[in-house]
């Protein structure tokens, strides 16, 4: 697993050290010295929100409220963020939620996109965890953010004993074990989350990451593909899947997902890297020929010319 320093984060996200410290002081992110690829994804979303002048207090309150309402570990990754005035709403599982008001909102944008289309039944909503489990979950999250990893692990384990179907707790506990390099235990927890909620996109993404660390690339690819099946615009899943295909030597498959990635994330260092990979792969003569057309088009038969004798 690649670990990024604070200096790396500042360079990659093209922000200042003062901005990063400001987000920490505002309680938007925990203070830490190293970051994972997943952390960078959250920071990238946070940067976009601040560029749109969404108040830091509103972001913090909305994130905490969404964790409480939906039992999410990382709302900035697990749901699509939508600005509604000075607050945030989240698109998740076919609905748009204002977590502070604890209300479902009418999604005008999604309604406009689907107007005139045939109705498609969406997935069943997540089962609401018991109040006691929710309270423990929030306490565990706070312990984790305060740096007390062992207490957080104990609390998540307690949730698992009382509510085995709490997928978000499985994910958080799995991630703690992942960072401790206890990959087999992390895999077990991520798989449990996919069993509890077979459409939990982040669970498949995290499962792909741990399988990648275990060098079980075929299984990692299958997990990333599952995440993309449920969330076709999950940019980070396309990115990691492209990397996995490259390590397998499957350049054409990698090319397809690099191209998907840059359609979703059009600017920034990740997009630049993806474009570089595309250019490198297309420099291969075989791939350059294949990339010219999606399918083979046979040449038109020449018509015989009449010759006067």
In the chain, where are the structural domains located?
Answer: 4-106, 232-292
Q: CATH number of the domain at 4-106, out of 1.25.40, 1.10.1660, 1.10.260, 1.10.3470?
A: 1.10.1660
Of 53, 52, 55, 44, which is closest to residue 20 (Cα–Cα)?
Answer: 44
CA pair distance 119, 129, nearest whole angstrom: 29
Tell me what pLDDT residue 294 has: 47
What are the beta bridge partners of residue 103?
98
Best-predicted range by mean pLDDT among 66-70, 90-94, 116-120, 135-139? 135-139
Selected residue with higher pLDDT from 283 and 95 = 283
User: Does residue 171 have a pLDDT over 50?
Assistant: yes
Structure tokens at 245: 């295909």
Contact 94, 110 (CB under 8 A): no
Percent of the chain at pLDDT > 70 equals 75
Query: Is residue 59 pLDDT above 50, yes or no?
Result: yes
The predicted structure's pLDDT at residue 13: 79
Contact predicate 172/178, CB 8 Å: no
How many residues are recorded in the chain?
309
Amino acid 245: pLDDT? 95
- The share of the chain scoring above pLDDT 90, in percent, equals 21
**Confidence check: pLDDT of 185 > 90:** yes
Residue 68's pLDDT is what? 66
Structure confidence by residue, pLDDT tens digits, 239-260? 899 999 999 999 999 999 999 9
Between residues 250 and 267, which one has the greater pLDDT?
A: 250
Among 126-130, 249-253, 261-265, top mean pLDDT goes to: 249-253
| Closest by CA position to 203, among listed 130, 262, 126, 128 | 126
Q: Which of 103-117, 227-241, 284-298 has the highest mean pLDDT?
A: 227-241
Higher pLDDT: 70 or 255? It is 255
Q: What is the reported pLDDT for 94? A: 61
Collect contacts of 69-72 with beta carbons under 8 A, ≥24 apart: 69/97, 69/99, 69/102, 70/97, 70/99, 70/126, 70/168, 71/126, 71/129, 71/134, 71/137, 71/166, 71/167, 71/168, 71/169, 72/168
The neighbour count for residue 196, using CB atoms within 10 Å, is 20
Euclidean distance between CA atoms 1 and 25, whole angstroms: 28
Report the C-alpha dihedral over residues 40, 46, 47, 50, rounded to 10 degrees.
-170
| ∠ Cα 98 102 108 (to 5°) | 35
In which band, very low, low, confident or very high, does the pLDDT at 293 lie, cut at 50, 70 and 90? Answer: very low
| Biggest CA-to-CA distance, the chain | 99
Pair of tokens at residue 242: 């492209």
Output the pTM of the full model. 0.57
177 in Cβ contact with 186 (< 8 Å): yes
Q: What is the pLDDT of residue 70?
A: 66
The pLDDT, as a whole number, for residue 309 is 30
Range ranked top by mean pLDDT from 22-31, 130-139, 297-306: 22-31
At 97, is the secondary structure helix, strand, or coil?
strand
- Residue 142 burial class via C-beta count within 10 angstroms: exposed 0-12, middle 13-18, buried 19 and up: middle
Q: Determine how β-strand 87-92 pairs with β-strand 4-5.
A: unpaired
Say which residue, 78 or 221, is predicted with more confidence. Answer: 221
> Tell me: the pLDDT tens digits for 73-111?
777 777 778 777 666 888 766 667 777 666 666 544 444
* Residue 226's pLDDT band (cuts 50, 70, 90): very high
């Amino acid at each position: 697993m690649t670990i990024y320093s604070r200096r790396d984060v500042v360079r990659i996200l093209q922000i200042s050290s003062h901005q990063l410290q400001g987000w920490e002081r505002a309680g938007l992110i925990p203070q830490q010295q190293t970051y994972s690829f997943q952390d960078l994804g959250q920071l990238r979303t946070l940067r976009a929100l601040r560029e749109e002048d969404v108040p830091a207090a509103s972001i913090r309150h909305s994130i905490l409220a969404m964790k409480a309402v939906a039992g999410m570990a990382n709302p900035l990754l697990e749901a699509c963020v939508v600005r509604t005035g000075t607050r945030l709403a989240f698109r998740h599982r076919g609905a748009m939620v204002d977590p502070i008001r604890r209300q479902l909102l009418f999604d005008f944008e999604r309604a406009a996109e689907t107007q005139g289309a045939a109705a498609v039944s969406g997935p069943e909503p997540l089962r609401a965890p018991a109040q006691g489990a929710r309270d423990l979950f929030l306490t565990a999250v706070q312990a984790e953010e305060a740096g007390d990893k062992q207490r957080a692990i104990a609390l998540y384990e307690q949730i698992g004993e009382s509510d085995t179907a709490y997928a978000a707790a499985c994910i958080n506990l799995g991630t703690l074990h992942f960072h401790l390099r206890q990959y087999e235990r992390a895999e077990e927890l991520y798989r449990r989350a996919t069993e509890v909620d077979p459409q939990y996109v982040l669970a498949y993404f995290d499962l792909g990451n741990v399988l990648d660390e275990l060098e079980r690339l075929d299984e990692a690819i299958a997990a990333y593909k599952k995440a993309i099946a449920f969330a076709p615009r999950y940019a980070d899943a396309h990115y990691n899947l492209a990397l996995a295909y490259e390590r397998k030597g499957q350049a054409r498959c990698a090319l397809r997902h690099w191209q998907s990635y840059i359609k979703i994330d059009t600017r920034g260092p990740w997009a630049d890297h993806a474009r570089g990979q595309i250019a490198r792969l297309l420099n291969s003569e075989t791939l350059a020929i294949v990339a010219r057309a999606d399918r083979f088009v046979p040449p038109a038969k020449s018509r015989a010319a009449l010759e006067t004798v």
